[in-house]
């Protein structure tokens, strides 16, 4: 019985299978065969022998093949095409209105925060007169501490970062 190492070394694949195994096109495999890539009499290629031949005969600076078994190497062209596809997907999502603009979102959040701050500052003057009347106190004596407390609370809230917007 053959051990696993010998089975791996004796594994043969078609030209297309070898191309997929090393991350090149079948046309490139044909070029390598013309340059001396060893091929079995039945036209199949031993994977390990082919990878060894590539290591020995293909310039490392021009080599785009995957020799360590981690999957196909992505060329810069493939990376660019994937990036362009992702950009097209994002543009389509934006046109379909399933994405929102970050700047517009931040502007809306800041506008709402200013509205709420102004509402709380205005509340002090409305509530102070009711509190002063209820406890029979001087209006100025109620407005000053209430205004200070509300502004401290607003400052504390403003200093608290919103999660997800950093």
Angle between helices 139-159 and 102-135 (to 10 degrees): 160
* Beta strands per DSSP E along 10-88: 12-13, 45-46
Instruction: Return the ∠ at Cα 90 (arms to 76 and 163), rounded to 5°.
Output: 105
What pLDDT, in 10s, does the model give residues 84-138?
888 888 888 778 777 777 888 889 999 999 999 999 999 999 999 999 999 999 9
What whole-number distance in Å separates Cα of residue 53 and Cα of residue 6? 18
Break the chain into its structural domains and give their ranges. 9-57, 102-159
pLDDT digits (tens, 9 = 90+) for 24-42: 888 888 998 998 989 999 9
- Give the tokens for residue 9: 């070394």
Residue 25 CB partners (closer than 8 Å, separation 6+): 19
Whole-model pTM: value is 0.41
């Amino acid at each position: 019985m053959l051990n696993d190492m010998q089975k791996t070394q004796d594994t043969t694949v078609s030209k297309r299978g070898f191309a997929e195994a090393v991350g090149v096109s079948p046309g490139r495999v044909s070029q390598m065969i013309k340059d001396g890539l060893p091929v079995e009499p039945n036209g199949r290629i031993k994977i390990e022998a082919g990878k060894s031949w590539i290591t020995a005969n293909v310039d490392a600076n021009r080599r785009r093949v995957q020799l360590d078994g981690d999957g196909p190497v992505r060329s810069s062209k493939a990376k660019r095409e994937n990036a362009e596809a992702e950009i097209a997907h994002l543009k389509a999502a934006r046109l379909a209105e399933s994405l929102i603009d970050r700047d517009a979102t931040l502007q809306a959040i800041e506008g709402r925060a200013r509205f709420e701050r102004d509402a709380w500052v205005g509340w002090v003057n409305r509530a102070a007169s009711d509190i002063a009347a209820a406890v029979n106190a001087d209006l100025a004596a109620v407005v000053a501490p209430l205004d200070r407390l509300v502004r401290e609370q607003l400052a504390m809230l403003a200093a608290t970062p919103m999660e997800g917007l950093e």
